[in-house]
Amino acid sequence: MSDRSPHHEVAKSAVLAAVQNFLNQAGEKPKIVVAFSGGLDSCVLLHSLRSLCLTDPSKSPILAAAHFDHGMRDGSAGDADWVVEMCAKWAVPLTVERADRALKSEADAREARYAFLDRTRIAAGHNASVLTAHHADDQAETVLFRMLRGTGPDGLRGIAGQRKGVARPLLGLWREDLEAYARIEGLDWREDPTNQHLVYARNALRHKILPELELLVAPGAKKALVRLARISGVEADAWSEVLPMVFEMLDGIRDGLENQSQVPSLDVDRDALRDLGQPLRTRVIRYLASEVGVILSEAGVERVNHFLSSSSSGRAIELGDRATVSLQLHRVVFVGSRPSIEPARSPVDETVVIKSASQGDSEVRLAGKSYRVLWAEEPSSDSEKEDEAFFELAGLSFPLEVRARAPGDRLHKSVGSRKVKKLMLERRIPIGQREMMPVIVDARGKVLWVPGVARSTSVATKVGTPSLRVRILS
């Protein structure tokens, strides 16, 4: 039976307004998958979406539901059956899946559930979104839970209202608002009996700790926790704007972060990073690590700080998940998951061999990037372009090869031989580009030229002498 008290009418309007606000931002005919457990919260979310769809079918979203049976308690199969029946009654397409392995913890269950939801979202088509029914009480519990576990400032922002592929339109409403909506609409729902078991941390916070906090310590504790989440979110968003600017101030270089086929990496000036005050340096180190896919703990940040102050060029340490931070001359280099910090040569490299001074034209392919190589015998000139070099024929050992850099490559300079790797570092060539850069070597493996980096002084030419002119065009 429905209950149409003024308070319940207000709550119903608030729920519908929150859902409509999401739909307004979602664009025309959005594809929506509702995470539907059968509990009160998800029933209200799915029902309100369906009601808005019936109000104006021409503008309604493409609506579906998804139910994941964790199989962690007796009765979960009954919940799945009830959900199937309810979706059939409401004419909402439903996808159901049961865990294919034993889930031992709430964390395991959450991971499996979101993996299922993500698969369902992808199957729904381009730009589909998963909607969950998290509300303000969930937010308060999350913030308190994270506080008790010693989270950092970013963790205090709590549950995100929206992240990639997932939205939570009811996050600004309280559970009592959802209960009022359910009463006025006469909704049924399934109660999970384990939600009353205080052995679970979330249940203890919900049913015991938060009520006692509001009774004995702070009457507005839940609202204060939600306010703290909102303030922390603003602070985190501000840092997300500031940190890229700090990165630029540190002479930062990004590589592989836009192209998912490459290993993410970035590097900054070592002295500039060390000159930052410790609080800001700590923030920046966390940011740099997160950009290559690693969330550092407090101890992890301290370890990186110690490494920066005590290690020398060429040294590296693991950040976790096979990511590394290394010192390379005056640069601090953060690299994402990889077996080692030494880049591996692409297996599809195609080199070019120049057998003689006879004119030729070919293509070299290095780590997926192609170059056109042209060569011919010509008198040397004093007006070389950046993409060309002259080599005196009398001093050349054929055949020459245009290939990628190899470990141990050295190039002769007037002050002695230098490692090609260090020369690239000095020219601030990003890690992911080094294996794409052509290197010309002679029959003995001696490096003659690295376009855009350096050329060997051992094959210098005098103007007008018979020479081999080589051009490498990208």
Mean pLDDT confidence for 38-54 = 96
- Residue 261 scores a pLDDT above 80: no
Cβ atoms < 10 Å from Cβ of 344: 11
Q: Note whether 327 and 423 are same-domain residues.
A: no
CATH number at residue 310: 3.30.465.60
Q: Note whether 254 and 211 are same-domain residues.
A: no
Structure tokens at 89: 């009654």
Query: Is residue 446 in some structural domain?
Result: yes
- Within 8 A by CB and 6+ apart from 215, the residues are none
- Residue 225 scores a pLDDT above 60: yes
pLDDT at 428: 79
Q: Note whether 259 and 209 are same-domain residues.
A: no
- Total structural domains in the chain? 3
Query: Is residue 180 in some structural domain?
Result: yes
Q: Name the average pLDDT for the chain.
A: 89
Q: Note whether 321 and 360 are same-domain residues.
A: no
Query: Is residue 171 in some structural domain?
Result: yes
Residue 325 bridge partners (DSSP): 317, 334
DSSP state of 264: P
- Classified as helix, coil or strand, 426 is helix
Element (H, E) at 318: strand 316-320
Structure tokens at 50: 């369906």
pLDDT at 348: 57
pTM for the structure as a whole: 0.71
Query: Is residue 295 in some structural domain?
Result: yes
Q: Note whether 196 and 271 are same-domain residues.
A: no
- Least Cα distance to 252 among 219, 216, 276, 231 occurs for 276
Q: Note whether 73 and 207 are same-domain residues.
A: yes
Q: What are phi and psi of 391, to 5 degrees?
A: -125, 125
Type of residue at 394: A
Mean pLDDT confidence for 359-377 = 90
Query: Is residue 153 in some structural domain?
Result: yes
Query: Is residue 343 in some structural domain?
Result: no
Q: Note whether 27 and 164 are same-domain residues.
A: yes
Domain boundary pick from 225, 260, 292: 225
pLDDT at 305: 94
Question: With contact defined as beta carbons under 8 Å apart, do 468 and 357 qualify?
Answer: yes
pLDDT at 470: 94
- Classified as helix, coil or strand, 447 is strand
* Higher pLDDT among residues 259 and 251, named by residue: 251
Question: With contact defined as beta carbons under 8 Å apart, do 54 and 217 qualify?
Answer: no
The percent of residues in the chain predicted with pLDDT above 70, rounded, is: 95
Q: Note whether 397 and 469 are same-domain residues.
A: yes
Least confident stretch, 338-342, 394-398, 439-443, 468-472: 338-342
Domain boundary pick from 335, 370, 387: 335
pLDDT tens sequence across 231-245: 999 999 999 999 999
Least confident stretch, 61-70, 179-188, 265-274, 403-412: 403-412
Domain limits for position 257: 250-335
Mean pLDDT confidence for 441-453 = 91
- Within 8 A by CB and 6+ apart from 17, the residues are none
pLDDT at 345: 46
Query: Is residue 235 in some structural domain?
Result: no
Mean pLDDT confidence for 435-444 = 90
pLDDT at 16: 96
The percent of residues in the chain predicted with pLDDT above 90, rounded, is: 61
- Residue 213 scores a pLDDT above 80: yes
Element (H, E) at 175: helix 175-185
Q: Note whether 196 and 102 are same-domain residues.
A: yes
Domain boundary pick from 279, 307, 335: 335
- Residue 29 scores a pLDDT above 90: no
Q: Note whether 211 and 265 are same-domain residues.
A: no
Q: Note whether 366 and 324 are same-domain residues.
A: no
pLDDT tens sequence across 304-318: 999 999 998 889 999
Q: Note whether 371 and 297 are same-domain residues.
A: no
pLDDT at 21: 94
pLDDT tens sequence across 94-149: 999 999 887 878 888 899 999 999 999 999 988 899 999 999 999 999 999 999 98
Query: Is residue 368 in some structural domain?
Result: yes
